[in-house]
Amino acid sequence: MSTKKVSREWIVIVAFVVTALWFFFPIGEPEGKCLVFALRLALPATILTIGCIGLLPKLMTIGFLFCAIGDVMGVIGSFEGQVGGFAVAHICFICHFAKGIRSLKSNPARFTVATLLCLAALILAVQKVIPMIQDLPIRIGCSVYSLLLTGTVWTSIVRSQLDERKVINVAAIGAVCFLTSDFILAWNKFVEHIPHASLCIMTTYYAALLLLFVGIYGESKRNRASRIPYQY
């Protein structure tokens, strides 16, 4: 591991944290509404996208890129575009995590726990959230997105349990944070108002992005240290 790459990791993390804090503490907010200023919401994911180039696997980098695109779509008021952007991101995350699943029989108990957790989230969405969506195309899109989101959670948890390297668990926690963020968003939008929803949504979302980055970076670093071939 070169000093340059170690420094780059911390530069990315610090830049991410600073831009995330700027969203919660909007210093320099201009008078009235300003689209450019509002787009600061997408800066953390953009920072990760740029910082991950050559540092993380390509699938994760592309995933962060589509997270940034989803953020931009949300800022300009395109819910469909927002869901679409994050859907593509989760496809990338699923493909990355799925590569590391070597044997589903290694630990059936943990495999079952991961499956039950994701099934519980899906059942809750189907019973409480999806029926409240009046627009049919959006209902279908959210249903598909729910499957992809829980797919990210499932593959990340199963992979973390099958691989004993604890650092990968960080990414799995990030995936669960992603699920939490989107569930709060959906409940607040379609079911009932949640106090301080924006704070809860963005806190868990930014935590998810950072944990995914740290977890996958740690995994790639361990692979390089062990001289294990790694797909970029």
pLDDT tens readout for residues 88-131: 999 999 999 998 776 555 567 678 888 999 999 999 999 999 99
Residue 38 φ/ψ, nearest 5 degrees: -65, -30
**Pair 174, 210: CB distance under 8 Å:** yes
- Domains contained in the chain, number: 1
**Pair 113, 160: CB distance under 8 Å:** no
Please give the share of the chain, as a percent, with pLDDT higher than 70: 82
Nearest to 143 by CA among 163, 129, 158: 129
Look at residue 189 and tell me if it is in a domain.
Answer: yes
The pLDDT score that the predictor gives to residue 232 is: 43
Q: How far is CA 113 from the centre of its chain?
A: 21
Between 225 and 229, residue with greater pLDDT: 225
pLDDT, tens digit, for every residue of 130-164? 999 999 999 999 999 999 999 999 999 888 765 55
> CA 160, CA 218: separation in Å to the nearest integer?
13
Look at residue 50 and tell me if it is in a domain.
Answer: yes
Q: Is-above-0.85 flag for pTM? A: yes
Look at residue 231 and tell me if it is in a domain.
Answer: no
> CA 232, CA 229: separation in Å to the nearest integer?
10
Cβ neighbours, 10 Å, residue 231: 10
- What is the domain range of residue 215? 3-225
